[in-house]
Amino acid sequence: MDAATLTYDTLGFGEFEDFPETSEPVWILGKEFNALTEKEDILSDVTSRLWFTYRKNFPPIGGTGPTSDTGWGCMLRCGQMILGEALVCRHLGRDWRWVRGQPQRGQYISILNETVLNIVRLALRKLTVLNIVRLALRKLTVFDSWSRLAVHVAMDNTVVMEEIKRLCMPWLDYGGAACAEPPGWMPKHNGCLEGACALAEEETALWKPLVLLIPLRLGLSDINKAYIETLKQCFQLPQSLGVIGGKPNSAHYFIGYVGEELIYLDPHTTQPAVEPCEDSQVPDDTYHCQHPPCRMHICEIDPSVAVGFFCRTEDDFDDWCMRIRKLSHTRGSLPMFELVDCQPSHFACSVDVLNLTPDFSDRSERFFDSEDEEFEILSL
């Protein structure tokens, strides 16, 4: 073992428990399963999620820097996983399944080759969950004209519906009337109208698929138990992208729960860097977790988390808003964030709205200071 590596390896040292035999429902990213009768379906669903871990032996960062992110890249890997899930939902659909050894669709190869494998690398310094996620997603979405994702980071525990609709429908003015572009307008994807996207032209012309991230602090040193049921219910929503969180200095990507345990993908495994083959195919076995999923009691997680959602269409977003409002009235639980129609007046001068799309205004640029120059795009 490399003496300089201050981390653990889930494949080298972890013991993986089989999935529990329980009558309690299992929820994974908006899908409900029965652990007694659908165990194979559960494992197939977990294995189909893109799993990103530490890598080693990649080209030195900056020419002379680290050749591995072991011990410091777990938060970026979790951000990579939540974005990867959004891209799978965007191009392949939530019900898509990965099967080892079987030929994959072109969209899947494109996700690995053109988007997800271009990871934003972080210099050896400590950042908060919000800073890492927002900087990583900003870089990744700028270089991805194929997916045309609209990424919104909701600040101050508040989701403003008006802000999101402006972001996802930029061709509408404040009152909802058509703006500069005609109704049938649709930007080209890498020089062609179709791209590899399965969305109908009418859908992409009316709404940019939304990745919504909500950074939250659900307690001081430990999670407030009043938030537990609300957090669990987020995994039941069909728009769920999961949760980035974990323990201090150890990030995980949570994708569901069973009982009082959260189900998660763990990035703390170091694997060799993967290079595309000559035919542009990617050896993808190491990008899918093929052992039983890890579990953690919900009370063990750090209270600082980032909750993610994906709304493919405007109807999906409206449905999400309706479900969130219902959750806010659940007896015995505390809402984790506020959903409002318009920007509150007291937010006029202080609200931080991060719309991480390729066209950045001065308003959003001010959130990315000179530290952003320490990031670069590498192919891993």
Catalytic residue among 45, 69, 144, 266: 266
Tell me the CA end-to-end span of the chain in Å, nearest whole number.
Answer: 22
Torsion angles phi and psi, residue 265, rounded to 5:
-100, 130
- DSSP, res 239: T
Tokens for 317?
A: 């977003």
Q: Which long-range contacts (CB under 8 A, 24 or more apart) does 255-258 make?
A: 255/28, 255/29, 255/46, 255/49, 255/85, 255/293, 256/26, 256/27, 256/28, 256/29, 257/26, 257/27, 257/232, 257/298, 258/19, 258/20, 258/22, 258/24, 258/25, 258/26, 258/27, 258/35, 258/295
Q: Does the annotation mark 268 as catalytic? A: yes
Q: Report d(CA 34, CA 28) in Å as an integer.
A: 11
Can 318 be counted among the known catalytic residues? no
- Residue of 91, 152, 252, 268 marked catalytic: 268
| Residue tagged active-site, from 45, 74, 234, 252 | 74
Q: Coil, strand, or helix at residue 272?
A: strand
**Catalytic residue numbers?**
74, 266, 268
